[in-house]
Structure 1
Amino acid sequence: MKKIILALLLAAFWSSCKQEIPMVNLGIDDVYTVERMKKVILHPEFPGEYQWSMKNTNGQDSVVSTERDYIFVAEKPGNYSVKLNIIDSENPIEHSVQIVVWEEEVAYSRYVSQVFEYRPAPGQFVNTMPEYEDGDTEETMRKKAQESISGKNDVMVSLGGFGGYITFGFDHTVVNAKGKKDFKVRGNSFYAASNPNPDAPAEGGSCEPGIVLVSLDENDNGIPDDDWYELAGSEYYKPETKHDYEITYYKPDADKIATPQPNSPISDTTYIRWTDNLGQQGYMAKNVYHTQDYFPKWLDSDQLAFNGTILANNAVDESAGKNGSYYVLYAYDWGYVDNHPNEYEDKISFDIGWAVDGNGNPVHLPGVDFIRVYTGVNQQCGWLGETSTELARAEDLHIQDPTILPNP
């Protein structure tokens, strides 16, 4: 009898202990199913030191992240296994997650589906590419920019002078495929048919480099409000490249008196004043070829400020006597929009693996949801005017165009 009573007491004791200890869910399921090129965001609730791993090509566990959250994206359908180790002296945890990835039910588009922001700096093609009409707002101009570059549309949009930008995305996450370029962006760059300087590089003409930023929708709200990372092109680490550059443009007064340059197409040498955080100032000139306002007419502001990385000027006056009649804008090697002609596909294509943080350290992103392009130089080229990046269609290189038959 005493043994029975003791057993009952012990059972009651353990039962009460179990009720007093709350069971905390890890916050991660055992199995997930998702379409390819869509994100699975894994967020563990337990604290500790995190280590996410997956099998590599040799079948061995390979650490893929040490951040608390792990975002999984797959280019191809299949069964994937992700293992989480939470290293904690009191409560170590090992948890395996199976992710089943299937083909999308509705085929993704290879092309841009949405423009989220269009904010050009002043420029000679602003208010015409796309065209401003009375009553247009920032939203209607965004829609016009979207109509220009979404789908198979191939209409140029101008970003104006340094810093002017556009932000766009696709109907899926663009996957960072190892060892491959991930997307391309078309511009209107060209190489000069002739050059007064016989010793000049061949890759020169009208090359107006735009810098690329990318962002992953980590909070999954569909808005480009997460961290941005620059794709470090060929010039990123060079000493003449300046990071954390800032410039402010000032809207000219309506009654401003023009200061034309004699015997020149430049109709106002002091049209739009600018200052920067390096203590410099100057002017964006106006020319007779583009007589509309250069300051974005839909923005109700007397100043526009932009910041980012600024590249060294790439324009050289190659005219005889350096009289400003023949400027050549030389291409940088790789990593910039509107920097090489569109027929050079490798030169106009980009690898998400080039992403770096604000300190220039490489960052691994499984994919990106938002892409931003901005003009990367602050440069005036005589009668040619300011250097301004133009762009048109962008394409995800991992999505096959259904109108193009695969090679047999």
Structure 2
Amino acid sequence: MKRTFFLNLFAAAVLLSSCKKEEYRAPSITGIAADTIVLNIGDRIVLAPNVKNLKGNSYAWLVNGQATASGQLSYTFEATASGNFEVTFKVDNKGGTDKQSFNIYVEKPIELTIADQLEVSMGKVLEISPTVNGPAGNDFTYQWSIGDSVIGRQRILNFISPAAGTYELKFRAVAGKQTATATRKIVVKPEQYVQNAYMVLEYAPAPAKNHNWAIIGNAEFWKFGHEFQLPYNDFLAKATAMRRDNVAPSLVIGSWGGYAVFRFDHTVANAAGKPDLELTATCSRLDLPAVYVAYDRNKNGKPDEEEWYEIKNEDYGLEDMPDYAITFTYNKTETDAKRIYTYYNWKDNQETPAQGEMLTNKTFTSAMTDAGTFSSRGFFPGLSMTDIPNKKVAILDGWQNTFTRKGKRITKNLTGAPPFSQKLNIDIDLAVNSRGERVQLPGIDFVKVRKVVYPVQQDFINAGGQVVDYNMDETRMLHVGAILDKHLIK
């Protein structure tokens, strides 16, 4: 009987103990996302996970394994240092244990370092390359400004000013929610420059009827000493000297494909929102030249081929032949008692080539200048009468007796659009690359002017209203005069 009593008592105790243990169910943590929480230094975040089965629980918070708080369901994490942090929440009771972790990344603060002493001459480019440290990744954005004017949106600033003075530069970097700024004063020293792009680096005319390759100045004044029949390099030097002292002298570029390359003695600043250059050219309103600009980025003093960009104008993209070319070849010179006859041939690059011969026929008496020289008007480029008494001609040193002019061709009917001397405003902000994409240039050092319009015209008098090729007609030749930096006030 006693044995039965004790067995019943033991069973009751076991049953009672089992009932009490079931009251402490193991805790369960929810509400913690797997994504990493990104903070900046100075940020605070309240971490408050959900807990199921609260009876008898004890709570602990650990940051990177180190206990930081206990007895609370939430924890405020303060970002005081950058790096990766694992914030673990641990729950214990008699029924079991659970723990989950928040992953937090505190980004590095943005730190900017700029040289203390900034100085540059006006009309020169100074590359300012600040050091930027901060959050990993490539989501930085930048802004350079002077007062209310934004002058750059890249980390590296190519600073240029057309005016002397002291300016305060402000540099701002933004990454995520962070923003940092730094300011520096920059001193721009005064200099004396020539406003005109007076240096002639290359002269590549394309001949035409009565074209005058030796003219530096007004083409109609050939008799009055505007001709300079010189070897090629001497001609460039003479044109350079004349254009330095006077903005009026022009060069006759000639027919389609002719061009010339000019250089400033400083870098012309690219000022936002306004034109930077003024180009004087003789052409019609429908026959505008193509203008190309180059910034001497590698400072080698010459325009490298990859540095050229076209200024987008109203004719941009209208070319019907993007890769047109004409080859000109000097043929011969013949004379008789009164006249001289010079011949050259031309031929284009089409599958069925257009070609022809140009003849210049002039008397000796009417071709003499006031200085007693035989005019080069109508001669092949570089051809000069080197011996007037014996009527001998020669191609002067540096010029070529055959050459090719190539580029894009825009065929236009120019009926009713006579050429005249006009001033064209050029905005460097309109420069585009070979794909038509805008490029950002701090300024430019070189200018190339090329004739790209191939003129045709309705001839109602002589051809019954037919379209006539006027490319090598003397009335359709391009003349290029002054190329002025509009930011230099003279």
Q: Secondary structure at the match of 2:233?
A: helix
Q: Secondary structure at the match of 1:142?
A: helix
Q: Secondary structure at the match of 2:240?
A: helix
1:182 aligns with 2:276: yes
Rate the CA distance shift 1:40–1:382 in 2: closer, same or farther, 3 A.
closer
Aligned position for 2:427: 351
TM-score, scaled to structure 2: 0.55
**Pairing partner for 1:235 from 296, 315, 328:** 315
Q: Secondary structure at the match of 2:266?
A: coil
Normalized per residue, which structure has more strand? Answer: 2
Aligned position for 1:324: none
In the TM superposition, residue 159 of structure 1 has moved relative to its aligned partner by: 1.1
1:294 aligns with 2:380: yes
Q: Secondary structure at the match of 1:185?
A: strand
1:395 aligns with 2:475: no
Q: 1:51, 1:63 within 8 Å by CA — same for their partners in 2?
A: no
2:421 aligned partner, one-letter code: P
Tell me how many residue pairs correspond in the alignment. Answer: 317
Q: Secondary structure at the match of 1:154?
A: coil
**Pairing partner for 2:453 from 359, 371, 377:** 377
Aligned position for 2:166: 78
TM-score, scaled to structure 1: 0.64
In the TM superposition, residue 224 of structure 1 has moved relative to its aligned partner by: 1.8
Q: Select between 358-367 and 277-286 the one with higher mean Cα deviation.
A: 277-286
Rate the CA distance shift 1:221–1:177 in 2: closer, same or farther, 3 A.
same
Q: 2:277, 2:485 within 8 Å by CA — same for their partners in 1?
A: yes
**Pairing partner for 2:200 from 109, 115, 119:** 115
Rate the CA distance shift 1:142–1:387 in 2: closer, same or farther, 3 A.
same
Rate the CA distance shift 1:252–1:221 in 2: closer, same or farther, 3 A.
closer
1:283 aligned partner, one-letter code: G
Aligned position for 2:61: none
1:167 aligned partner, one-letter code: V
Q: Relative contact order (alpha carbons < 8 A, sep ≥ 6): 1 or 2 greater?
A: 1
- Structure 2: how far apart are the matches of 1:369 and 1:254? 40
In the TM superposition, residue 36 of structure 1 has moved relative to its aligned partner by: 2.2
- Structure 1: how far apart are the matches of 2:242 and 2:446? 18
Q: Secondary structure at the match of 2:202?
A: strand
**Pairing partner for 2:143 from 50, 53, 58:** 53
Query: Which stretches in structure 2 are left out of the alignment for 5+ residues?
Result: 1-111, 217-226, 336-340, 363-375, 383-394, 456-468
Q: 1:53, 1:65 within 8 Å by CA — same for their partners in 2?
A: yes
Rate the CA distance shift 1:28–1:254 in 2: closer, same or farther, 3 A.
farther
**Pairing partner for 1:283 from 345, 356, 364:** 356
Rate the CA distance shift 1:252–1:341 in 2: closer, same or farther, 3 A.
closer
**Pairing partner for 2:260 from 166, 184, 194:** 166
In the TM superposition, residue 251 of structure 1 has moved relative to its aligned partner by: 0.9
Aligned position for 2:368: none
- Structure 1: how far apart are the matches of 2:444 and 2:145? 23
Give the percent of matched residue pairs that are identical in Structure 1 and Structure 2: 21
- Structure 1: how far apart are the matches of 2:200 and 2:472? 32
In the TM superposition, residue 386 of structure 1 has moved relative to its aligned partner by: 7.2
Residues 19-168 of structure 1 mapped to structure 2, 5 A cutoff: 29-42=115-128, 52-55=142-145, 58=148, 64-66=152-154, 70-76=157-163, 77-81=165-169, 83=171, 98=184, 100-104=186-190, 106-123=191-208, 124-130=210-216, 131-133=227-229, 136-168=230-262
Residues 243-282 of structure 1 mapped to structure 2, 5 A cutoff: 244-254=322-332, 271-276=344-349, 280-282=353-355
- Structure 2: how far apart are the matches of 1:397 and 1:161? 28
Aligned position for 2:296: 217
CA RMSD, Structure 1 to Structure 2 (Å) = 3.9
Aligned position for 2:402: 303
Rate the CA distance shift 1:122–1:148 in 2: closer, same or farther, 3 A.
farther
1:79 aligned partner, one-letter code: Y
- Structure 2: how far apart are the matches of 1:246 and 1:82? 48
Q: Deviations over 1:293-350 (max 9, x none)?
A: 223344454432233332223433xxxxxxxxxxx4x27xxxxxxx6533xx4xx221
Rate the CA distance shift 1:82–1:382 in 2: closer, same or farther, 3 A.
closer
- Structure 2: how far apart are the matches of 1:221 and 1:362? 24
Q: 1:169, 1:369 within 8 Å by CA — same for their partners in 2?
A: yes
- Structure 2: how far apart are the matches of 1:72 and 1:277? 46
Q: Secondary structure at the match of 2:411?
A: coil
- Structure 2: how far apart are the matches of 1:256 and 1:46? 73
